[in-house]
Amino acid sequence: MRYLRNCWYQAGWSSELTQDVPLARTIAEIPLLFWRDGKGGIAALLDRCPHRFAPLSAGIIKNGSVTCGYHGLTFDGSGRCVHNPHGGISSAMKVASFPVVERHTALWIWLGRSEDADASRIPDLSYIDATPETARIAGYLPTRANYELLSDNILDLSHADYLHPTSLGGMMTSAKTSTSVDGEHVVVDWDARDCVPPRAFQGLIPSPQRGDIWIQVRWVAPAVMTLSTFAAPSGTPRTSHGTALTLHNMTPENQGSTHYFYCSTRPYLTGDIAFTEHLRGAITHAFSIEDKPMLERQQTQIGDQDFWDLEPVLLSVDVAAVRARRKLKVLIEAESRN
């Protein structure tokens, strides 16, 4: 088993799935079709008709069921065949279905044993719900690199000093860093005192002032990270009101490709749409023009080789990423023993 099964993967944003248009997306190498069943629920089936393996996404959704576009077998959201225009319905006429929950403006799918699909295990991202839409920036960035490389990227923010030196970084390398484990979470803190703030923080720390910037990343398996940021003029006491939370969630499409979902939220300037749009531009630029090409080139150099077989040289900044990789490995191995 190369992927964790008994966990919730983010399959998309709620807004990607409209009442009329289904969503086809491959997660952990499983081609899936999602649609709204018209009763408030969401169906997720293997995107493959059991008859002749046409993709159900080439069919038609109607009355909460999907009709294969090739020979007309119809399946409801549970994967049960509800219409065979050519004869009777047998128990073999079914499509694998997966539990889906819509929460925190996102779609979550459970690929493991469905009886274990406990929605309380969905990561708590209630900060998204608590943030007005005008202060949320959600994005989706398909990236041709392994999802663990994308987790590494967020768990080692020192890269910001080199990939985003003036926009997001510049103060990370000299920050005080500490890594800890908090239950299922790996937590890494970056504490930069009295530093020159990069452009992204100039709204909070007016030039030419120096500032305190504190960033925390909390990782939970398989690859869900929340980044907390506090920035203020040097010496300002840290407050939750000043702390912005951003989701970075890496859903594997396959071993070489990742569905990267992110959502920036902030508790300040929440009605300032112009600021939101400014921030959206900065984030989109950094993630898609600076991070993504580096991650994809890194993946190209690694190719099909195992990351550890290449014997990476580990630095102090890698502690959190290495702990997260080991935790995930242990979880995947535990599943394969069951």
Interaction between residue 163 and a copy of itself (CB under 8 A): yes
Q: Which of 141, 302, 322, 331 binds a copy of itself (CB under 8 A)?
A: 302
Which region among 107-115, 135-143, 242-250, 315-323 touches a copy of itself (by CB under 8 A)? 315-323
Out of 5, 25, 103, 159, the residue judged to bind a copy of itself by CB under 8 A:
159
CB neighbours (10 Å) of residue 14?
15
76 near a copy of itself (CB under 8 A): no
Measured from the CB atom, is 95 or 227 closer to a copy of itself?
A: 95
Figure out which of the listed residues 39, 40, 90, 241 binds a copy of itself, where binding follows CB under 8 A. 90
- 105-128 b/e with 16+ CB inside 10 Å = b? bbbbbbbbeeeebeeeebbebebb
62 binds a copy of itself (CB under 8 A): no
- Report the C-alpha gap between 190 and 174 in whole angstroms: 9
Q: Which is nearer to a copy of itself, 92 or 274 (CB)?
A: 92
Q: Is the dihedral of CA 147, 152, 154, 159 positive or negative?
A: negative
d(CA 332, CA 4): 5
Q: Which of residues 319-338 bind a copy of itself (CB under 8 A)?
A: none
Instruction: Give the DSSP letter string of 266-318.
Output: -SSSTT-HHHHHHHHHHHHHIIIIIIHHHHHHHHHHHTTS-TGGG-PPP-GGG
DSSP string, 229-274: EEEEETTPPP-GGGEEEEEEEEEEEETTEEEEEEEEE-SSSTT-HH
Nearer to a copy of itself by C-beta: 93 or 245? Answer: 93
Query: Interface with a copy of itself by CB under 8 A: which range of 52-60, 116-124, 187-195, 259-267?
Result: 52-60
Does residue number 270 form part of the binding site for a copy of itself (CB under 8 A)? no
Q: Give yes or no for residue 45 binding a copy of itself (CB under 8 A).
A: no
Q: Give the bridge partners for 295, in sequence order.
A: none
Q: Which residues bind a copy of itself (CB under 8 A)?
A: 31, 47-48, 50-55, 58, 67-73, 84-87, 90, 92-93, 149, 152, 156, 158-159, 161-163, 173, 293-294, 297-298, 300-302, 310-318
